[in-house]
Amino acid sequence: MLLAFELSGEHETLPAGEVLACMRSLEIEHRVVKSEEQCLIIETIDEKPAMSTLPALLSARLAMTHHIIAVIFECDLSESSILESVSDAEIAIPLGETFGVRARKIQRSALSTERIERLIGGIIFERNRVNGARVNLTSPDHRFRAILTDDSCIFGEVLASTDRREFEERKPHKKPFFYPGAISPKVARALVNLCEIRTGDRVLDLFCGTGGILVEAGMIGASVIGIDVQESMVRGARMNLSDHGFEYQLICGDACNLPLRDQSVDVVVTDPPYGRSAVVMAESIVSLYRDALFEIHRVIVDGGHVVVVSDFELPWVGESGFVTIKLHTQRVHRSLTRYIAVLEK
């Protein structure tokens, strides 16, 4: 099956990285056919029975994908080529059902999305007129999307979409306990996904603050452990975690001297203080990151994945026993670049 992921444009590499990490954690064999800033196409190789539920599983997990689309065709970016491909595709709408077509430009293009939607819709309508097919643009039975990239049109039927409102509803200021600097739920979910978490994994955030990362990890089936040096943060995180119905453990402690046994967690996802506004309980930011990294190495299982957010490149990755498997960067403004390192023990 050829799947297109229509990605949010909020980061260059995180949205695609999140999709591929989820595919690996669900053990779906695949290969990347095309990767653009806002569109990733993959071919699944192993058509397990789980494939029928895959789009729903992925859309429940992913934060930075808008739609998951079964690709019907990819063609040149010209009106004639698109319309010819739609005609050739013989799209059948079952008796009496409705459909809608939407187009989105992810690069500059002279084509008008409204015109493309109308023309494609016209062809599908004519082809299915005898079946009583009707157009419904608000909640059709079949949603088709045309993604217009800089050189091609990717067309297919939407299998699942992510619920963006859900992330809006979990924004830090809407939670029972709020503290400035709390991570956005969308970013937290993407970080958690990058770690390839499997159901039941023990996930640690050793700088948990208000618990934003822990909430997202718990929601996808992890058992979560949060540590923060400030008792007030631990109390706040408890308020934010208590309503979600998954197992969690919160401890007031020092990330540089973790109160955990060796190899007692499967995954670590964390957003340590940058030393700008958040409290830093250590000799220096440098010693905090360095010592915490060695502690993470001690408490995580062999092969375990770690995601660390920082505003500098961590120089002690090799020395502490990890390998970097991916480094995502984000230029926030002139004097701040954020690094998201994915490490493996």
Q: Considering only residues 141-180, where is the footprint of ligand SAM by CB under 6 A?
A: 179
The Cα angle at residue 192 between residues 188 and 198, in degrees rounded to 5: 150
Residue 183 within binding range of ligand SAM, rule CB under 6 A: yes
Q: Considering only residues 273-302, where is the footprint of ligand SAM by CB under 6 A?
A: 273, 278-282, 288
Nearer to ligand SAM, 183 or 293 (CB): 183
Distance linking the first and last C-alpha atoms of the chain: 33
Residue 230 within binding range of ligand SAM, rule CB under 6 A: yes
Q: Among all chains, which residue has been given the structure tokens 């698109």?
A: 82
Q: Choose one: 97-105, 154-162, 193-201, 210-218; the region binding ligand SAM (CB under 6 A).
A: 210-218
Least distance in angstroms from the C-beta of 26 to ligand SAM: 26
Measured from the Cβ of residue 200, the count of other Cβ atoms closer than 10 Å reads 10
Cα 111 from Cα 114, distance rounded (Å): 9
Count residues binding ligand SAM (CB under 6 A). Answer: 27
Residues 6+ apart with CB under 8 A from 212: 172, 182, 183, 184, 185, 188, 240, 271
Please identify which residue in 209, 218, 226, 304 interacts with ligand SAM, judged by CB under 6 A.
209
Please identify which residue in 42, 62, 154, 213 interacts with ligand SAM, judged by CB under 6 A.
213
Nearer to ligand SAM, 162 or 210 (CB): 210
Residue 256 within binding range of ligand SAM, rule CB under 6 A: yes
Least distance in angstroms from the C-beta of 283 to ligand SAM: 10
Contacts from 88-93 at CB under 8 Å and sequence distance 24+?
89/155, 90/127, 91/124, 91/127, 91/128, 91/144, 92/127, 92/128, 92/131, 93/124, 93/128, 93/131, 93/133, 93/141, 93/142
Residue 271 within binding range of ligand SAM, rule CB under 6 A: yes
Nearer to ligand SAM, 288 or 340 (CB): 288
Measured from the Cβ of residue 37, the count of other Cβ atoms closer than 10 Å reads 16
Residue 249 within binding range of ligand SAM, rule CB under 6 A: no
Residue 239 within binding range of ligand SAM, rule CB under 6 A: no
Binding string, 297-326, against ligand SAM, x = CB under 6 A?
------------------------------
Residue 228 within binding range of ligand SAM, rule CB under 6 A: yes
Q: Among all chains, which residue has been given the structure tokens 């319309």?
A: 83
Residue nearest ligand SAM, Cβ-based:
209
Provide the residue count of the chain: 345
Cα 103 from Cα 92, distance rounded (Å): 19
Q: Residue 59 in contact with residue 68, Cβ under 8 Å? A: yes
Please identify which residue in 75, 116, 203, 255 interacts with ligand SAM, judged by CB under 6 A.
255
Measured from the Cβ of residue 220, the count of other Cβ atoms closer than 10 Å reads 20
Cα 195 from Cα 307, distance rounded (Å): 7
Residue 221 within binding range of ligand SAM, rule CB under 6 A: no
The token duo for 11 is: 């980061």
Q: Choose one: 48-56, 70-78, 153-161, 201-209; the region binding ligand SAM (CB under 6 A).
A: 201-209
Nearer to ligand SAM, 80 or 257 (CB): 257
Residue 241 within binding range of ligand SAM, rule CB under 6 A: no
Contacts with ligand SAM by CB under 6 A lie at: 179, 181-183, 206-207, 209-210, 212-213, 227-230, 233, 254-256, 271-273, 278-282, 288
